Amino acid sequence: MKKIVFFMMMVLACFVGFSGDTKCDASANIKFQATNVYLYNGQSVIEGNFYNEGDSGATVTTVKLSFTASDKAGNYVFSDSGLFSGVNAWVPAYGTTAWSFTINNSNTPGYAGTIKWHIDADVRFSY
């Protein structure tokens, strides 16, 4: 009987030890997804949304974008990049925030046709 009581006490002690304080930190996971890209003479406009897959809201501070645009047949049209600091866009937990970026470059061609694009975005944020 003493062995059973001792065993039960050990099991209980292990359970209490393993189930002690568990800390779960809230975190944001913010990304940018483009919805439209427009090429004007001297400007590239990239519209899209910041979306947060995390359980904590955060403010986007800096975004580095690079894109390549091609026509509907896949032929290269233009590529460019931009670094945007001081963005200051609040993105709530599990939410989205619409945003637009403009890259000024005198080499940007005007293009009115259908554009396909590939965008890489490095999004930095703070709590």
Identify the structural domains of the chain with CATH numbers, from first to last: 27-126 (2.60.40.1620)
Q: What is the pLDDT of residue 41?
A: 96
* 120 three-state secondary structure: strand
Give the position of tokens 């910041």.
Answer: 50
Average pLDDT of the segment spanning 61-84: 97
Instruction: Summarize pLDDT for 80-101 with one digit per residue, the tens.
Output: 999 999 999 999 999 999 999 9
Instruction: Summarize pLDDT for 7-55 with one digit per residue, the tens.
Output: 555 555 555 554 444 445 679 999 999 999 999 999 999 999 999 999 9
